Structure 1
Amino acid sequence: MIFKSLVELGYRILLVTPDLYFLFENTPSKSWFIDLKNGKKDPGKIPLAQNLSNLIRLAVLYKYGGVYLDTDFIILKDFSRLRNSIGAQSVDRNGKWTRLNNAVLIFDKSHPLVYKFMEEFALSFDGNRWGYNGPYLVSRVVEKVKDYNFSVLPPRAFYPMNWVRIKGFFNAKNDSRWIEAKVLELNEKTYGIHLWNRQSKSMKIEQGSIIDRLISTHCVVCNDI
């Protein structure tokens, strides 16, 4: 239903079921996938779909280039000028990133950093540790590589609120002046907000909250929030 509404609004959408053998061909992912299919690789306790999602996004970006986005984002402004970029989830006091995230990946076709991500996935896969093959993976690789022609965006770009405090964006009980100032700041400095669905999926969007204000302005198919 949601896709029909978007198509009716003029958005060009194509839903596909990925051919994983074709997608992983000529990538470091192929041997890992074949071992998995043949029972030689333990998928672990984490749902396999989650780890396949981590890998599929890398393979698609490597073969075709473009933008990968998790679905739990509110996009606030155009970022089509961004190239070969990954977002920092957190930084230290000196502004150096301490954790990256793979919920937003923007890369050209055949970018060597994405290839390195796939190599790391195949070599160090651990299906029992949440995040190990996703946000922790991209953090491990970027920590080790140099001169790969990419940018690390500050948290305000896509992760202006961390998962521990995201509830504050759903809550209308905060100071109304703070909410007004924060909405203005987000609209000026942030490309999109990651909602951390694992934590926020059960939260109610309170009327007048930051999320309520942003959805009312930026959601293209939401009529009555």
Structure 2
Amino acid sequence: MSNLSINTANIKTGEVLPSPQTTTNQLVEGEGQVATSINSVPGATDTNPERKIEEETENEDPLIPPFKASVDERMEWFRRKLPELAILQSNELSEKFHVRVLELFNNKCSAQFFMVWLSTAQSFGPREFLAVDSLFSTTPDGCLLILSRSMDTPKGYRILKPLLDRGFNVQAVTPDMPFLVKNTPAEAWLDDLKNGNMDPGSIPLFNHLSDLIRLAVLYKYGGVYLDTDFVFLKDLSGLRNAIGAQSINQVTKKWTRLNGAVMIFDIHHPVLLEFLKEYATTFNGNRWGHNGPYLVSRVLERLGDNSEYNITIFPPKAFYPVDWIKIAKLFKKPETEADSKWADDTLVDITSESYVVHLWNKRSKELKIEEGSVMARLIAEHCNICENIYDP
């Protein structure tokens, strides 16, 4: 792995550099046995009245700090809110996390995939469903774990049921934060946060917790982590210990920023430990991206050409073929002959050289996918259920 140049990879043929070996569908060793049946269909028959109340009030988000509060005011607010932050604590359901994960991954998975959803189940809409749907269009024998308290409910089960009915291995499981960070550099960080000894920052805390969960779950289990705003074009299960550049210097062709929206790592990979150390020691809740894409860029730049880590850094076209500034054009129906030619050329370019397309949901979530657009044509070839694809 080099922090100065982008390793070459034949994306058109799927050849991986360095040479691919086994896939990352490994389980944690020595941390528990698979139960015969624990919530294999979460929420399908849940009659717990507390769950019902939780669903009805899930729009209330206690993780958004007061606007323009000072550090002292924010910390005082956070200490008052701590009892409401169930995500930071273990409970009867979250303590089943590890066993439920092993139960899912015991289904002869060709690869282990992870997504994190810390928003409401109600906000898991057509765009997020499309990401899951298209994943299984490329890797039908893969297993997807969605780490989410809100989706681990009857409502979440109903959202995922069309995929379950087709036999795909997808499950939402309530994460157990103390378990995920146990025996990692982030364990002390979480203790400080839970004790109210840390400024959570002005940016909603769930953004930072999502950054931490993705690192911790990859370290504990190994596999492929992805955000929920992708369209999958090719099978990722053959890739190993890889991350993608978001941007490069057009003159030197050296990467200028990496992105953690796609990360593929073996279990207990040492660079994940470095990421967790960086998170715990440099946490900043006031700067967007500091604990996410900027973090992975800082760490890999510091590690340099250390061959011990053996990481492949893919060029932007692999995972981020369209810059966030230009993403809107992919949603528009061609209006002129020039537009049509651009759409045809873009479609050929993306389908030949990209594994996935990042939709930059913060930029595109309100955009309608117009019929005949590049996005509509991509989706038509890479979905199983293909419902509501024109809804934002």
- TM-score scaled by structure 1? 0.97
Which amino acid in the other structure matches residue 73 of structure 1?
A: F
Aligned-residue offset at 1:19: 1.0
Superposed CA RMSD in Å reads 1.1
Aligned residue number for residue 181 of structure 1: 345
Q: Equivalents in 1 of 2:192, 2:370: separation in Å?
A: 48
Q: Equivalents in 1 of 2:302, 2:215: separation in Å?
A: 18
Which amino acid in the other structure matches residue 289 of structure 2?
A: G
Q: Equivalents in 2 of 1:220, 1:144: separation in Å?
A: 42
Listed one character per residue, the Cα deviations across residues 177-198 of structure 1 (whole Å, up to 9, x for unaligned) are 2211211221111000000000
Aligned residue number for residue 326 of structure 2: 165
Q: Equivalents in 2 of 1:2, 1:18: separation in Å?
A: 19
Q: Select 2:174's aligned residue among 11, 17, 25.
A: 17
Bigger Rg over Cα: 2
**5+ residue gaps in structure 1?**
none
Q: Equivalents in 1 of 2:175, 2:371: separation in Å?
A: 39
Aligned-residue offset at 1:220: 2.1
SS of aligned partner of 1:116: helix
Q: Equivalents in 2 of 1:70, 1:46: separation in Å?
A: 19
Whether 1:200 and 2:200 are equivalent positions in the alignment is no
Q: Equivalents in 1 of 2:273, 2:211: separation in Å?
A: 13
Q: Equivalents in 2 of 1:18, 1:29: separation in Å?
A: 15
Listed one character per residue, the Cα deviations across residues 50-101 of structure 1 (whole Å, up to 9, x for unaligned) are 1101000100101110000001000001121110000100011221110100
Aligned residue number for residue 183 of structure 2: 26
Q: Equivalents in 2 of 1:126, 1:10: separation in Å?
A: 42
Aligned-residue offset at 1:14: 2.1
Listed one character per residue, the Cα deviations across residues 144-165 of structure 1 (whole Å, up to 9, x for unaligned) are 1022111101100010011111
Q: Select 1:88's aligned residue among 225, 245, 250.
A: 245
Which amino acid in the other structure matches residue 178 of structure 1?
A: W
Q: Select 1:79's aligned residue among 216, 236, 246.
A: 236
SS of aligned partner of 2:169: coil
Whether 1:213 and 2:377 are equivalent positions in the alignment is yes
Aligned-residue offset at 1:224: 5.3
Q: 4+ residue stretches of structure 1 with deviation over 6 A?
A: none
Aligned residue number for residue 386 of structure 2: 222
Q: Equivalents in 2 of 1:223, 1:53: separation in Å?
A: 28
Aligned residue number for residue 73 of structure 2: none
Listed one character per residue, the Cα deviations across residues 7-60 of structure 1 (whole Å, up to 9, x for unaligned) are 111111121111111111000110000000001111101111111010001001
Q: Equivalents in 2 of 1:202, 1:151: separation in Å?
A: 34
SS of aligned partner of 2:313: strand
Q: Equivalents in 2 of 1:203, 1:223: separation in Å?
A: 17
Listed one character per residue, the Cα deviations across residues 100-126 of structure 1 (whole Å, up to 9, x for unaligned) are 001000000010111100100000000
